[in-house]
Structure 1
Amino acid sequence: ETCGTHSKYMRAVYPTKTFPNHYTIVTGLYPESHGIIDNNMYDVGLDAHFSLSGEEKFKPEWWKGQPVWLTAMSQNLKAGTFFWPGSDVAIGGTYPTLYTKYNGSIPYEERISGILKWLDNAQPERPDIYTLYIEQPDSSGHSFGPVSAGVIKALQEADKAVGMLMDGLKQRNLHKCVNLIVLADHGMEKTYCKKLEYMTNYFKEVDFYLYAGPAARIRAKNVPNDYFTCSKHGIVYTACCRRSPQHFKPYLTPDLPKRFHYANNIRIDKVHLLVDRQWLAVRDKSYSSCDGGNHGYNNEFKSMEAIFLAYGPSFKEKTEVDAFENIEVYNLMCDLLHIAPAENNGTHGSLNHLLKKPFYNPSHPKEVSSPSSCPVSSLIPADDLGCNCTQTSIGSTEELNERLNLTTEEIKKASSSHLPYGRPKVLQKEKVYCLLSHHQYVSGYSYDIRMPLWTAYTVNKP
């Protein structure tokens, strides 16, 4: 709060897991687009299982999109990564210029020293962008819960590491030259072994594979043979509204809330359990990793919110900004490097308000088709649409239609109310349409398809 810029919070992508969110931050893509849809997953096309503990995660075919270190390198910059999910993988056949293969036993001090040594390189060999990963306080949050002495100690360790980095920058007289972003991938929720939803309470026979936890998924047990024939509709039906209270809701993956952007990938299993906060969906009573903390829940839960702090010559000072999604950070990093981002799900320029002098200033595209006004030739419809309703309480059809024939002043009032920021621009060629104004809304009516291309209206707060 005393220097740099920070957000009220940063919203993680769903599921609020480590690998999906770390890779979203450096690609600007939702997990369904970059392919790392969870820390553990199965790809039927590859017939392979991805996990944090296995060697499969080092294979490039799992990692889609272009991480920021490759974006930088493709534009003649250098990148140094002292840990980051995906940074020790030859994505697209290429590693970062300088990188260290992940080893969680390397002390934080050694990681910071590694970054500082790279900064000491001669200019031609010095990276332009760096990544650094610190496990805490996530590890302690899992062990002790988010509000615990263990997490306080872990925060002190992380703070000490950041302090060491800042001291190193000051010793090199770089503390006013480097743009620094400190962020988290997700939050943490308290969990209890007494708050478990057992699948054995819902199914006579649990003859499927369950990815247990706060973002549970279900697939066939025998893969790849039964992957596409598993009775997903039957599973959802059996698990739906069977107990009261029930602390999860089963979904066919395409029916999940669209704001999750979590459906369009073969790795996302076809049945998903959206779990209540503090609860876990598990197979049976043999599950024991439950007391402490966990994450993966709905990304709108307050406990899943992440931090975002930024400091350096490009960032505004003593500034708090509203929350934003972590898909926006990739474009921001590209702007700090003065490079063009790869295609991504973020909105380029949406974080310009964090910067003293934005590098990229979006401009509105030029309109291709402009509207005419909708003429009124007659108040009697040319086509009655087969309607034979009898209007008894309000005047004649002609009188009713007269209400739709707004005066010039009424049209101005409708535009002011329903188009306060101007009308939508039509970017398709050869679209013939007119502005059709009503008291309650304004439409861009297409002569080609005989229906609105768009409709604008304002809803007043109650």
Structure 2
Amino acid sequence: MTTTTTTMCYIHRLYTTISLIFIKSLLSPICCHPILIVISFDGFRNDYVRPDLTPHMFKLANNGVRAHMRSSFVTKTYPNHQTIATGFYEEFHGIINNEMFDPLYNETFNVDNSSDIWWNESPVIPIWIANQMVDPVNRFSASMQWPGSQVVYKNHAIKYRQEWNDTLTWNKRIDIIIKWMTDSIPTANCVFAYFDEPDTTAHEYGPFGDETIEKVRIADQTIGHLINRLEQKRLLSKTNIIILSDHGMAEVKSDRVINLNTFLDPDLYHIYGASPVWSIEPKHKYEEQVYQTLLNASKTKNFTVYKREDIPEYLHYKKHRRILSIFIVADEGWDIYKNMTWTPKGIHQWGNHGYDNRLESMRPLFIANGPTFKSGYNHTKPFVNVDLYPLMLYVLQLYPTIQFPSNGSLTNIWDILIPPIYADSYDSSAQKWFNFIFYIFGGFGILFFGSVCLICSTNIGKSVRSRRSTDVVWESLGSGLDIDLRSHLDPSVNDFSKSFDDDIISRANRLQKPEETLLLLEDSDEEDL
């Protein structure tokens, strides 16, 4: 009985293991949904990409797509990351600067502790939420410190999220991303990741300082680590990768600083934002005085002033209440403050951004690679990062749908896709039919494996019982008859006499289970014969 029990346990474990593996494959969205990874390096200029400085990015671009993308105005971090995620200009999604005032809430925005209402302006739906809304059972998204990903949108929260933790090495962050995509149950098929360099260092030392260039190298090494990990998991050929930045970076020198206090009374207005772009709200009865003072100063100083209604249309930056009644922007390479009180580590030069999004210094990074994108393609026609939203919807096979509106258009960037097809040619019903067929066959597969294992376990059990040792038969039979059967046998004789068989059968009739005894004896006789 010990051999039979061991064999049955083995068969049961084998069946359970096969079933769990099969069920996990069914639950994993990797098997049936497209994979998208979006990596953002804050302040990474497009012209940093070259073979000697960023070999991994350079190779990825040569084997994929490199394109001329423009940031949204203002070219600041939080506004552009929200634009990339939602496809709306800043005047629509409401994150109009890294610091801002909302006259409706009568509050000033602080990214560290402000409530969700600052981000959750209708009809904003970030791409990671759209991915989960389409199929809440199989599609899941993840964020590695992406700004705004902590927010609950329309009662939906992102599945996996790493809060800001600058002690995590960049390679460790990549390892966490790979774990979300492969080891977690359920796995993530849409991942957004944010890295704060080279922006942080460039603000101190300028875009071309040695310290900044070293951060650029580290960013490239991080991409190399990502590629290696995807190859190890055999996911590289299946994964669509977009590497981008929120804006570029301009060099500012110490003799190019404008201090508003030198010509404008600070008691006449409130100011919100960050150099080189500011929203100004004059105090009551001083609206025209403040505006005229700024206008006169702008004729001799390096900045431009607008009333909100006069801000140029091409900037898409006038319709939101958080853009106050007067707006000023410094010229490229200039800073403007009420009164500059900080000293950059570069002392005589540093870096800044926020300027006109058409400037080459503000041009961000864009590289795409994967099964959806062309290879060796350079998209030279400029597009604005609002177009990324319909692009990512298409890559994730969520396009077209009226559920996810945006200011972007896939038409502006459709030719980077392979094969080159028009946006309205995608049939969303194909994915539903694929899912239906997949789960039907998956269910039959589980039943088939279960049936095979059960049949095998039954046959093995019978086979083991039929081959039980003759000694066991004699011992159990002898104990029932209270005799030593082997004392009646000559070991050299293989054929039993009829009289001996009759004697055994006669004695077996007195057992409680004579049928079992006869069966065991018959089995033993057949083996001996």
Q: TM-score range by the shorter chain?
A: 0.7 to 0.9
Residue 4 of structure 1 pairs with residue 4 of structure 2: no
TM-aligned CA distance change 1:237 to 1:109, over 3 Å:
same
* Cα displacement string for residues 139-173 of structure 1 (whole angstroms, at most 9, x for unaligned residues): 11111101111111001111111111110000011
Contact 2:197 2:219 in 1 (8 A): yes
Q: Which residue of 1 aligns with 2:479?
A: none
Q: Which residue of 1 aligns with 2:436?
A: none
Work out the CA distance in 2 between the residues paired with 1:152 and 1:34.
33
Contact 1:81 1:98 in 2 (8 A): yes
- When the two structures are aligned, how many residues end up with a matched partner? 352
Q: Following TM superposition, by how much is the alpha carbon of 1:4 offset from its aligned partner in structure 2, in angstroms?
A: 0.3
> Which residue, out of 16, 35, 49, partners 2:94?
35
TM-score using structure 1 length: 0.72
Residue 271 of structure 1 pairs with residue 329 of structure 2: no
Work out the CA distance in 2 between the residues paired with 1:173 and 1:138.
32
How do residues 345-424 of structure 1 correspond to structure 2 at under 5 angstroms?
Answer: 345-357=407-419, 360-362=422-424
Work out the CA distance in 2 between the residues paired with 1:230 and 1:71.
46
Work out the CA distance in 2 between the residues paired with 1:121 and 1:358.
34
Q: Following TM superposition, by how much is the alpha carbon of 1:244 offset from its aligned partner in structure 2, in angstroms?
A: 5.8
How do residues 12-411 of structure 1 correspond to structure 2 at under 5 angstroms?
Answer: 12-52=71-111, 54-56=112-114, 58-64=115-121, 65-76=124-135, 77-121=139-183, 125-211=186-272, 212-220=274-282, 229=284, 231-242=286-297, 245-284=300-339, 286=341, 288=343, 291-322=349-380, 323-340=382-399, 342-357=404-419, 360-362=422-424
Q: Following TM superposition, by how much is the alpha carbon of 1:232 offset from its aligned partner in structure 2, in angstroms?
A: 3.1
Counterpart residue identity of residue 338, structure 1: Q
Work out the CA distance in 1 between the residues paired with 2:103 and 2:119.
12
Work out the CA distance in 2 between the residues paired with 1:316 and 1:205.
54
Work out the CA distance in 1 between the residues paired with 2:158 and 2:285.
41
- Partner SS state of residue 329, structure 2: strand
* Cα displacement string for residues 31-83 of structure 1 (whole angstroms, at most 9, x for unaligned residues): 1101111110111111221123x311x42443321100111111012111112
Q: Following TM superposition, by how much is the alpha carbon of 1:282 offset from its aligned partner in structure 2, in angstroms?
A: 0.9
Contact 1:336 1:359 in 2 (8 A): no
Q: Following TM superposition, by how much is the alpha carbon of 1:358 offset from its aligned partner in structure 2, in angstroms?
A: 5.0
TM-score using structure 2 length: 0.63
Work out the CA distance in 1 between the residues paired with 2:367 and 2:379.
10
Work out the CA distance in 2 between the residues paired with 1:230 and 1:79.
50
TM-aligned CA distance change 1:112 to 1:287, over 3 Å:
closer
More helix by share: 2
Work out the CA distance in 2 between the residues paired with 1:117 and 1:126.
8
TM-aligned CA distance change 1:219 to 1:27, over 3 Å:
same
Work out the CA distance in 2 between the residues paired with 1:37 and 1:230.
26
Structure 2 unaligned regions, length at least 5: 1-60, 426-529
Work out the CA distance in 1 between the residues paired with 2:147 and 2:113.
13
Percent identity for Structure 1 against Structure 2: 28
Counterpart residue identity of residue 11, structure 1: R
Contact 2:181 2:189 in 1 (8 A): no
TM-aligned CA distance change 1:17 to 1:61, over 3 Å:
closer
TM-aligned CA distance change 1:261 to 1:243, over 3 Å:
closer
Contact 1:233 1:252 in 2 (8 A): no
Q: Following TM superposition, by how much is the alpha carbon of 1:102 offset from its aligned partner in structure 2, in angstroms?
A: 2.1
- Partner SS state of residue 127, structure 1: coil
- Partner SS state of residue 66, structure 2: strand
Contact 2:95 2:118 in 1 (8 A): no
Structure 1 unaligned regions, length at least 5: 221-225, 364-462
Aligned-residue CA RMSD in angstroms?
2.0
TM-aligned CA distance change 1:269 to 1:162, over 3 Å:
same
- Partner SS state of residue 238, structure 2: coil
TM-aligned CA distance change 1:230 to 1:151, over 3 Å:
farther
Contact 2:245 2:365 in 1 (8 A): yes
Q: Following TM superposition, by how much is the alpha carbon of 1:179 offset from its aligned partner in structure 2, in angstroms?
A: 0.3
Counterpart residue identity of residue 276, structure 1: D
TM-aligned CA distance change 1:320 to 1:284, over 3 Å:
same
Q: Following TM superposition, by how much is the alpha carbon of 1:274 offset from its aligned partner in structure 2, in angstroms?
A: 2.1
Counterpart residue identity of residue 410, structure 2: H
Largest Rg, 1 or 2:
2
Counterpart residue identity of residue 94, structure 1: H
